[in-house]
């Protein structure tokens, strides 16, 4: 079994790395916040002092980081994976970043004889905790086979989207829909609240028609509508991901009017109170605050 290095132990990275360790993978971990490694060390992982130590000590290096500059620095920057890596080593980036950065990583690593896979993650932190993540994978066939045991240990669903770079592009399409629809849901349920409708009955109606979606059917009843806006997927990151989708649309010459409006609304939510670090289902509470009404909550039945 290959030794796995894992860089980035945040809300998604920590549970995914934990599942790798529980499934028996030898694990070398690093996060800029040294405290983030403690839970992994308790499971038997080894904490590395920096990225260079991970690159030197692992056969496969996984990165799960917040944004494009973070990934570029860790992989291509001084003391990074490229500088300290070796031929036939594999790097798998699971972050949601600019596809142009993904392409640069793949080219730079290939030039040194290193393999690259992009495997951004679908579903939420709660799914990652349970080992139920979904992965959108861009990889050559041999490299997919090499990382498949890791993906199976961290999740339940693997979609091979094509060559390197197709995984992140698929993720941007997925998140474009999920985030823009989240804003629409927030406005619609705020309207229902303002008109004095019973929220449970409204959801029963909506979930029986083509208006239904994953937020209203499964996620929101246990998050914002239950009064829980602790972050699974932060509003700040939702704004970043939708902005990446819009940038991709501009490059492709695709009109993106609805996405642009949703991105503007979510940008405003980031600047409203402390919502930036709340779960993106809390967009409902933002819209209700903007309307001057109390946010709806479901009573337990």
3-class DSSP assignment, residue 228: coil
Of 65, 64, 113, the closest CA to residue 89 belongs to 113
Q: Map tokens 């790798």 to a residue.
A: 20
Tokens describing residue 299: 């009573």
Quickly count helices (H) and strands (E) in the chain.
14, 9
∠ CA 228-233-235, nearest 5°, is 90
* Helix pair angle (68-76, 99-111), 10° resolution: 10
Radius of gyration of the chain (CA): 20
3-class DSSP assignment, residue 134: strand
Tokens describing residue 25: 């993978």
Judging by DSSP bridges, how do beta strands 46-47 and 60-63 pair with one another?
Answer: unpaired
Which one from 112, 171, 223, 240 is the annotated catalytic residue?
171
Q: Residue 204 is inside which H or E element, if any?
A: helix 199-206
3-class DSSP assignment, residue 231: coil
Is residue 171 among the annotated active site residues?
yes
| CB atoms closer than 10 angstroms to residue 36 | 18
Tokens describing residue 224: 């914002």
**Which residues are CB-neighbours of 208 under 8 A, at least 6 positions away?**
none
Alpha helices by DSSP H, 130-198:
141-154, 166-194
Residues classed as catalytic: 171
């Amino acid at each position: 079994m290959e030794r796995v290095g894992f860089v980035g132990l945040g809300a998604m990275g920590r549970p995914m790395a934990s599942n790798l360790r529980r499934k028996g993978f030898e694990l070398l971990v690093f996060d800029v916040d040294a405290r983030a490694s403690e839970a992994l060390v308790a499971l038997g992982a080894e904490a590395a002092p920096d990225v260079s130590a991970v690159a030197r000590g692992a056969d496969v290096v996984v990165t799960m980081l917040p944004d494009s500059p973070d990934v570029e620095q860790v992989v291509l920057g001084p003391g990074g994976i490229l500088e300290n890596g070796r031929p036939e080593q594999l790097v798998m980036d699971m972050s949601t970043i600019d596809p142009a950065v993904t392409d640069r990583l793949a080219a730079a690593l290939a030039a040194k004889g290193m393999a690259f896979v992009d495997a951004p993650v679908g579903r939420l932190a709660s799914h990652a905790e349970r080992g139920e993540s979904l992965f959108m994978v861009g990889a050559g066939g041999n490299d997919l086979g090499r990382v498949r045991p890791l993906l199976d240990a961290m999740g339940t669903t693997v979609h091979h989207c094509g060559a390197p770079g197709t995984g992140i592009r698929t993720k941007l399409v997925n998140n474009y829909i999920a985030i823009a629809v989240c804003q629409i849901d927030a406005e619609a349920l705020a309207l229902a609240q303002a008109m004095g409708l019973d929220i449970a009955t409204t959801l029963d109606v909506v979930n029986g028609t083509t208006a239904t979606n994953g937020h209203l059917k499964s996620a929101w009843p246990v998050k914002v509508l239950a009064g829980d806006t602790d972050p699974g997927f932060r509003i700040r990151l939702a704004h970043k991901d939708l902005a990446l989708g819009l940038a991709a649309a501009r490059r492709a010459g695709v009109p993106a009017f609805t996405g642009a409006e949703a991105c503007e609304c979510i940008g405003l939510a980031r600047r409203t109170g402390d919502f930036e670090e709340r779960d993106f289902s809390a967009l409902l509470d933002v819209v209700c605050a903007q309307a001057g009404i109390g946010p709806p909550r479901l009573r337990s039945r």
